[in-house]
Chains A and B, each alone.
Chain A
Amino acid sequence: GEDVEQSLFLSVREGDSSVINCTYTDSSSTYLYWYKQEPGAGLQLLTYIFSNMDMKQDQRLTVLLNKKDKHLSLRIADTQTGDSAIYFCAENDYGQNFVFGPGTRLSVLP
């Protein structure tokens, strides 16, 4: 079945860039998403990328997609303490099925 994998933890210093990586197995994925979950809250859609794109930039966020390697990354520039959260990668194949990764817990150190 489809699977999405992420590393579970990442620590960075405030002001540095964070790069969160994700790999997926479903080659028919059409959209890939990044969600952010702050403590005690629901998942908030951060950004998404269509599978025919290589890169998408949105303010401090840059999404890179390597479709050949089925690798997705989220770069957060100038990481702030407010960016501390769990980041979920998810994929969707235009069907009903969304598959989420286990989440990467980002800790931003002062």
Chain B
Amino acid sequence: DSGVTQTPKHLITATGQRVTLRCSPRSGDLSVYWYQQSLDQGLQFLIQYYNGEERAKGNILERFSAQQFPDLHSELNLSSLELGDSALYFCASRRDRGDPDTQYFGPGTRLTVL
């Protein structure tokens, strides 16, 4: 158990809908990263938040957005869903101090868009 939690574990929805994925980082970790893992694209970095502020952006679509709240949990919002958005969505947290400064991954949310 990495200490990172994600809800829900599975999500099935229809095209055009909007969903929210939730991530709680390990206690004391300030950074949250979001990744999308699909069969044909591998692990794609989406976005990173540090202590409530956006720190880095990767291959995140405009239809997607995220935020990190004062208690450091984060939400990833996916809107106008398309079939191609079906994937595993992972969050990872990082302490941002100490060595080694690595990421710890949550169990993921499997999104299926029908």
Size class of the contact patch on chain A: 20 to 34
Complex contacts, B55 vs chain A, CB 8 Å? 96
| Most chain B beta-carbon contacts within 10 A, residue among A40, A42, A50, A100 | A42
- Indicate whether A98 sits within 8 Å of B90 (C-beta atoms), given known contacts A42-B106, A48-B102, A50-B100: no
**Quick check: B101 and A103 within 8 Å, CB to CB?**
no
Task: List residues of A whose CB falls within 8 A of some B CB.
Answer: 31, 33, 35, 40-45, 48, 50, 88, 92, 94, 96-100, 102-103
Task: List residues of B whose CB falls within 8 A of some A CB.
Answer: 2, 4, 31, 33, 42-43, 45, 48, 50, 55-56, 90, 92, 99-108, 110
Cross-chain pairs A/B with CB under 8 angstroms, 17 sampled:
A31-B100, A40-B110, A41-B108, A43-B43, A43-B90, A43-B92, A44-B2, A45-B104, A45-B105, A48-B100, A48-B102, A94-B101, A96-B56, A98-B103, A99-B45, A102-B43, A103-B43
